[in-house]
Structure 1
């Protein structure tokens, strides 16, 4: 299968930098040490609120350009940072998700972690037609609004709504997950440096805790497609 962003999305958001990883052999047994990532996030939040981070401000501008109220629909990293600032911790969900959430906190970049077994055919980040089906974590089925940015597979399932706002419960990583796709996206001025650093951190965590060597790529308008090998 392939993962890519649509030509229209690259045209509308030329500053986009996307990092992608795929890995096989994931389980729920490791216990990654997240302390260094959480400490970095805590230090940044001690200096300024997440709303002032350039990474978050770039996504807020992007959401506003798509007709979304940024304080109503937040990118995933802003939502994590906001919760972490208020509660001082994040809930443990799955070791891989916990690791990616901690790295997302540290770098303020949204990271999606998807169960590949729930994705049919290729996966594209594109504007919705309005016919796609999105399954919430509660099991309800929604239809994204036409022109909303979604992660859509060939079966017409939306695996994320409002771009980096919320993933689908259908492809959420669970204890039975073995094959994953991890996507990080950023639009701020230093994204070309920060996203590769994020990919390196996730790859290092995968190698250390799961003993797997993930496939990785940094996508661009010139090279927008990533081949996922299972």
Structure 2
């Protein structure tokens, strides 16, 4: 079912369940809806960001083991809080930082930009197709019977999250498992995406000012992917 909400309606209907804040009171989510993207756009800025991110990863990993980098360490602790084993299911930031030292994957300008921003600013960052959402995004803890579509052996399969697992979901099912570990196929970005939805996840020691700066950096980079790009945003945190 295609998303029939306006970006503003969507953002202000998105929510984080109290059970997640009980797990991590320091959690904040910066949500962006980016309209006017040109699906086939290229960007020299994406190339520059990728190069900077790869250099940043090498510098960081020369200074400390990956699991001791501040945000990666914080997310490992958060994963343990709901029973996940971070050494087996690495959050998206850790997975990208490990890969970046040897070269980030190149997919398309849209994905390359947000992967690079994630590594550069050391923040988990997910991007999805806004038009493929069924209702608003909700961060909650799983019952265990929610549907999550993923790929296995080249085929789409349906999995279920573990009970108590932190998940992003919409009205149809799970869009991302284990907070920021693996995104589903149903709402994935594609070469046809014209409106994208981004989730930037922050824990202490990242401040709200720093989170806002990351959002600005991502927004400025995405503006290179269309003549009429418009960006709506909202931060959700514990009250």
Contact map agreement 1:18 1:218 (CA 8 A) in 2: yes
List aligned pairs for 1:29-44, cutoff 5 A: 29-31=41-43, 32-33=46-47, 34=49, 35-44=51-60
Q: Does 1:114 align with 2:128?
A: yes
Whole-Å Cα distance in 1 between the matches of residues 230 and 35 of structure 2? 9
Which residue number corresponds to residue 218 of structure 1? 235
Aligned to 1:227: none
Deviation digits for residues 114-171 of structure 1 (CA, Å, limit 9, x no counterpart): 111221012101011222111114411101122211111112x100011111111221
Which of 62, 73, 87 is the aligned partner of 1:57?
Answer: 73
Matched, 1:69 2:85: yes
Residue segments in structure 2 that go unaligned for 5+ positions in a row: 1-9
Structure 1 residue runs of 5 or longer lacking an equivalent are 223-230
Please point out which of 114, 124, 129 is paired with 2:143.
129
Q: Residue 228 of structure 1 corresponds to which residue in structure 2?
A: none
Q: Which residue of 1 aligns with 2:214?
A: 198
Q: How does 1:7-18 map to 2 (within 5 A)?
A: 7-18=18-29
Equivalences, count: 219
Cα distance, 1:213 vs. partner?
2.6
Counterpart check, 1:148 vs 2:165: yes
Maintained 8 Å contact 1:19/1:184:
yes
Partners of 2:113 and 2:222 within 8 A in 1? no
Distance change >3 Å, CA 16–CA 221, structure 1 → 2: same
Of 67, 76, 84, 2:100 maps to: 84
Q: 1:154-198: per-residue Cα shift (whole Å, max 9, x none)?
A: 12x100011111111221111011111100102121342332121
SS in 2 for 1:136: strand
In 1, Cα distance between the equivalents of 2:210 and 2:104?
23
Does residue 96 (structure 1) correspond to residue 107 (structure 2)? The answer is no
TM-score between both structures, scaled by the size of structure 2:
0.86
The whole-number CA distance in structure 2 between the counterparts of 1:207 and 1:90 is 22
CA distance in 2, matches of 1:106, 1:100: 10
TM-score by length of 1: 0.89
**What CA distance in whole angstroms lies between the structure 2 residues aligned with 1:137 and 1:28?**
25
Moved over 4 A (4+): none
Quote the Cα distance in structure 1 between the aligned partners of 2:59 and 2:234.
29
Aligned to 1:177: 193
Counterparts of 1:216 and 1:37 in 2: how far apart (Å)? 24
RMSD, aligned α-carbons: 1.6
